[in-house]
Amino acid sequence: MNYMEDCFAGAPQEFLICITVHKAVKVGLTSGELYVRISLDKMTKSTKSFPNTENPFFNEYFVFEFHCTLTELLRLTILFELKKHMTYKKNVVVGELLVDLHSVWNQSNHGYFKKWGRLEAPIGDNQPPENQPNEPHGYLQLDLAIVSQHSPVSIGLRSEEQDTQNLNKWSVDQDYDDIEKNLLTNVSSFAPSNIRYYIAFYRGYFVRQSNYMIQVSFAGFNGKTPVAKNTTTPVWNHEINFAWMYPSVAQRFLILILTHELLQWKCVAEFELSLEEIAFKGTPSLGPTYLHLYDPVNPMIYVGRLLMELRSEMLKDAQPSHTLSSKTVPGLDETRFWHDDVYLVEFLPLLGHQIQTSATAYKISARLAEHSSNVLEGVLRTPLDRFRSAMNSKSFRREAPFRSCMFRVRLPDNRAKYESDFFMLDIVNYMRSELDAFKVFQLKHPLQDDEQAKCLKAIVGNILTRIKEGLEAHRFDHDVEPQRTTWDINRQLYLLDYFAKLPSELHQMKQRLRSCFLEHLDASIAEVVSELQRLVAEIGALSSMARTQDEWPEMVLSLSAGGKDLGVCRLNAKLFLHLQSGNSDLQQETLCWRLRSFSFKAIGCTHTCPNCGCTTAIVSGCLSIVVERERKAFLSSISDDWTSIEAMLWQPNPAQTNFLCHVYVHQAKVRPGGDKKSICDSHLRILFADQTCETYTSPGTLSPIWNAVITLNMLSLPGGVNLYLKNPPLLSLELYNSERSLSEDLVGMGSVAVSVISEERATDSSWEEPGGFAWSKNPMQKLQRLKHMTPPPLKWVPVAKKGSVQAEVLMSAELIELSMLPTGQDIKKEPHLATGIPVAIRPNMQNFVLEVFFVGLRNYSKSSMSSAGKRKIKVMMGDLVLTSGPSTARVRNSINFLVAYASGVVVS
C-alpha cells in the first residue's frame, strides 16, 4: 500500500473488483453442464455453462463496483461456486472457493494473475453426492484485482513475481498451467493442511449497561454466543469451532459486539483479526488476551474490552466436515497469565502553536479507555508577527511551575514482553540516524567512493555489534511470569530465528564492499544502502508496538477552545511506559517523559498518514505512564532535568534556555492540481512557539524560488537543551496562494523537525573542516561531525491538504543554543527575513537563456495572436524550468509548438 492509498483508508471512495474466470480442472465430473457462480456482498454473477468435461473452459470477465471505505471493502469475501446444472432439482455445488479481499489487496499490484484456487467442499455439507469421500474437488484459475480511486495508473495485470525493471519484458518462461507453482496460497511458508479453529469468548467489560451478544464471521462461517442480559460485565464462557484449510486466501476473522436496543440488534463495536499476523510460521494462536473495542462510527469513543482466546490444531482427516459447532467452556483464571497493576498516567503540556481557532482560551486533557484526567485551561495569544492570510492561528505558553494532567488506571503488567520490542526500536532508530548521516556524507564527498565505502562498512559493523550484543543479553528469549502463552512462544522463536540469520546477511554486505572493484564501488554502495533501508522497514514492522495480543487501550489527548473540540492526538500508550529493570545494563530508552511535539488532528479527520494536512495544533510536552509503587525511582531517573515540587506540579532544570532559530527556505514545487489557478503567487508561512514569519511572495509561478533565510530571535523555551536534543521539536508550515479571487488561499500544511545544536557542539559544527582535521584518515570521525551540522542540509518537505500532498518545499531549520544573555534593547526582537541561503547548502542553480525563433508560420502577424494566447505563452514559458541544457533545435520546436497552440496558427 503506497502513501496515498494508506492515507485514504478511512475515506469513502470508488472501488472496482475485476475478476476473470479462466477455467477449472480435475473437478471429477465428466457429464453435465458446469458453470461458476460469483457472490460478493449480496451481488451475484454467473458464467455460461460448459458441457460434458471435467476441465471446463469459461474465460469470462466480471466487474463489481463499490463505494465505501477501504476498511469496509477488505472485510468482504468473494465466493466462487462451481455448480452443476440440474433439470428437475436444485443445482448441485461441486466445490467452492472463498477469497478474502484483504489477501488480494496485500499483493504488490493489488491483484492475482492466473492463479489457481483449490475448490473445497461446501460449508455445511460433508461431501457433494457426486464425489467420493477422498476425491478432490478440483482447481479454478482466476484473475482478481482491486482498483481504487487513488491507485496508480497500471497498464494491466501482471505476475507479482515481475519486478519493476522487467515490466517491458514479456514473460515466456512462466508456465501458468502448473498448479503447484501458481496456487493462491503461499505453500513455501507452511504446508497446506486441514486445521480446526477454536474461538473462546469468556467475558467483557463495557461502559454501557445492555444485553450483549458476540458474532464471529470467517469465510462463510457465522457463529454466535448466548445473550448476556442487562449487564456491563457479561460472562459468556462460550467456544465456537470449525475446520478449514490453512494457509488459505481467507485470512480475516470479524468479531462483532451486538446489543439489543429498540427491539433490534445493533453493532456497537467490531474487531478484525488476521491469521497471518498471529501465525509466526506455525499454527495460528492468540491469547488469552483482552481486545479493546471502539465505536465504529466515532473511533474516539471507547466501548469496552473483551477477553478471548483463539487456538488451532492440525487434523489428520483428508476431507473434514465444514460445519460449525459450539459449546460451553469453563471460565478463565487471568492470574495464570498476567497480573494487573495500578499505573499513573501524566501529561505535561508546555507550549503550543498553529492552533486553528479564533477563541481566546483553550482546554486540554488526556484519557485512556474509560479513565479521564483533570482539565487544564489557559489563554491563547496571537503570534508576534503580522500575517496576510485569513486563517486564525494562535499559540499558548504555560508558566512555571507547570501543572500537569494526571489519572490512575489499572492495566495488565506486560512490561517484560515489551523488552524485545523496545530493543528493536533502538536498532531501527540507530540505523535511520546512521543512514541519514551517510546521505549527508555523500553530499559533502560526492566523488570519494573509497571513503564512502569505509564509512558504510563501519556503519554495518556497528549495527552487527549491536545485534550480537542483544542476542547475548537474551533480549528475545526472556522469561515471562507467571506463564507464557502459545503466541508468546511462537513470537519469541520467530524473532530469535530472524535475528540469528541477520548477522550473516550483514557480513555479506561488508564482504561485498571489500571485494568490489573501484570502478563498480558506487553501484555496490547504492545496493548496500538499499538493503539497509529494507532491513529498517522489516525490523520496524517487527518492532511495531501495535500488537494484537497484550494490547493496551489507545491514549487520546484532547484540545478544545471556545467550547468546541479543536483536535485530538492518538498515541500508542506503551511507547511512553517507564521500564523498571533490575539490571541497569538492560534498561531500554522509551519516550517516557521525553519532551516531544504532539500533532493534533481535526475531529473529522479519517486519514491514516501522519502528514495529511488536517493538523489543528502542535503541542510540546511530556507524557509518562509509571507504576504507582515505582514513582520514586522514576523521579530519581529524571532529577537532572525535572524537579517534582508536589503532585502534578513540575519545575524544569534549568528553567529555560535561549535559542536562535534559522529557517532556510529555498523553493517549492506545487504539484499539478495542487492549485486551482495556473498563476500562483505563493508565499510560505513559518510558525514556531509564539513567533511566526513569512517569505515574500513569488509571483506567477508554480515553482517559486525564495532563497530566503528566516531568523526567529530570542526563542526562550522551557527546560535545558538536552530535552530538545533527544526529540527535536516540530516547526509548522503553511503554504498560501495570495490570489485574492480564490475563496480559499491555503495550498497545504506540513511540519519539519528542526536540527538542535548545543553550545558545546556549535564550535565544531561548520561545514568547513577544522584545522588539521582535513588530513584525518578516519572517515567515521567525519561522519559523526555531519550529524550536527550548521546550517543543516536542505530536504524536500511535503505539504498536504485533505489527505493528499499538494506541494513540496526545499528547506531546513535549526535551533542553536545561546549562552550569552541579550541586552535590554534586543530582547523583544521581531522575526527577521533575509535573502541568501549559505553557500554550503545552497543548490547548484544554472541560468539558461532561451532564444525563440518563429519560423515557418503561415499568415503570421502581430495582430493574428490574441491577447489570451500571448498570456498563455507567457505563463507556460514562465513555468518552464530546465535542469539540463537541451539542444537548441528541441527548444525551438517546443516554443514554436506553444506559440502555434496559443495563437491558433499552424507550424509548417
pLDDT tens, residue by residue, 252-304: 899 999 999 888 999 999 998 888 888 887 789 998 999 999 998 888 899 99
Cis peptide before 152 (omega within 30 of 0): no
Q: Classify residue 475 by burial, with Cβ atoms within 10 Å: 0-12, 13-18, 19+.
A: buried
State residue 830 phi and psi, 5-degree precision. -80, 160
DSSP of 29-94: --SSEEEEEEEETTEEEEPPPEES-SS-EEEEEEEEEEEE-HHHHTT-EEEEEEEE--SSSPPEEE
290-299, 313-322, 397-406: which has the minimum mean pLDDT? 313-322
Give the residue, 124 or 268, on which the prediction is more confident. Answer: 268
**312 and 329 Cβ atoms separated by less than 8 Å:** no
- Check pLDDT > 80 for residue 123: no
- Over residues 135-161, the mean pLDDT reads 70
Q: What is the pLDDT of residue 848?
A: 61
Cis peptide upstream of residue 553 (ω within 30 degrees of 0): no
Give exposure, 721-753, as e/b (b: 16+ Cβ within 10 Å): bebbbebbbbbbbbbbbbeeeeeebbbbbbbbe
Q: Is the peptide bond before 56 cis (omega within 30 degrees of 0)?
A: no
849: confidence class by pLDDT, cuts 50, 70, 90: low
pLDDT at position 528, please?
93
Q: What does each C-alpha distance from 179 to 37, 160, 183, 185 come to in angstroms? A: 22, 16, 6, 11
CA distances from 112 to 74, 463, 861 (A): 15, 37, 59
Check residue 532 and give its pLDDT: 94
Contacts of 71 (CB under 8 A, 6+ apart): 9, 10
- Residue 153 binned pLDDT confidence (cut-offs 50, 70, 90): low
CA torsion, ordered 216, 219, 221, 227, to nearest 10 deg: 10
Which of 332-346, 413-427, 456-470 is the least confident region?
A: 413-427
What pLDDT is recorded for position 461?
92
Determine contact, residues 464/428, Cβ cutoff 8 Å: no
Mean of all residue pLDDT scores within the chain: 81
CA distance 537 to 535: 5
pLDDT, residue 773, reads 43
What cell does 527 get? 545496493
For residue 446 the three cell numbers come to 560526492
Range list of H helices, 638-758: 721-726
Half-sphere exposure of residue 705: CA atoms within 13 angstroms, side-chain side: 9
Beta bridge partners, 261, equal 264
- CA dist 16 and 101 (Å) reads 12
CA atoms within 13 A on the CB side of 270: 14
Calculate mean pLDDT across residues 327-352.
Answer: 93
Phi, psi of 658 (to 5 degrees): -90, 135
- Average of per-residue pLDDT across 217-229: 91
Question: Omega into 718 within 30° of 0, i.e. cis?
Answer: no
Query: Residue 59 class from Cβ within 10 Å (0-12 exposed, 13-18 middle, 19+ buried)?
Result: exposed
Long-range (24+ apart) CB contacts under 8 A made by 875-879 are 875/678, 875/679, 875/700, 876/902, 877/850, 878/700, 878/701, 879/678, 879/701, 879/702, 879/703
| pLDDT higher than 80, residue 377 | yes
pLDDT per position as a tens digit, 789-838: 888 999 999 999 888 888 999 999 999 988 776 555 455 567 889 999 99
Amino acid, single-letter form, for residue 183: L
Q: What pLDDT shows up at residue 530?
A: 93
How many CB atoms neighbour CB 844 within 10 A?
4
* Dist. CA 546–CA 854, nearest whole Å: 64
Handedness of CA 611, 613, 615, 620 (dihedral sign): positive
Of 61 and 275, more confident: 61
Q: What is the dihedral of CA 620, 608, 284, 137, to 10 degrees?
A: 180
Instruction: For residue 575, give the amino acid letter.
Output: L
Res 858 pLDDT > 80: no
Q: Which three cell numbers stand for residue 171?
A: 514473460
Highest mean pLDDT among 81-90, 833-842, 875-884: 833-842
- Rounded mean pLDDT of 519-540? 91
In residues, how long is the chain? 908
E strands within 369-496? 371-372, 376-379, 393-397, 402-403, 405-412
Amino acid at 645: I
C-alpha cell at 412: 495488565
pLDDT in tens, 536-564: 999 988 887 657 888 899 999 999 998 89
The three grid cell numbers given for residue 518, joined into one nine-digit string = 573501484
pLDDT category at 47 given cuts 50, 70, 90 is very high
Q: Is the pLDDT of residue 744 over 90?
A: no
> Which residue would you say has higher pLDDT here, 405 or 878?
405
Cell numbers representing residue 276 in the block: 497471518
What 3-state class would DSSP assign to 381? strand
866 vs 671: which has the higher pLDDT:
671
- Position 676 scores a pLDDT of 56
Going from the C-alpha of 384 to that of each of 99, 351, 835, the distances in angstroms are 59, 15, 21
Q: Which of the two residues, 76 and 344, has the higher pLDDT score?
A: 344
* pLDDT for position 852: 47
**pLDDT score, position 783:** 77
Determine contact, residues 197/221, Cβ cutoff 8 Å: no
pLDDT at 608: 78
Residue 625 pLDDT class (50, 70, 90 cuts): very high
CA 412 to chain centroid, in Å, comes to 27
Q: Are strands 286-294 and 302-314 parallel, antiparallel or unpaired?
A: antiparallel
**CB of 120 within 8 A of CB of 97?**
yes
CA 892, 894, 895, 900 dihedral sign is positive
Q: Tell me how far apart the 2 most distant CA atoms of the chain are, in Å.
A: 101
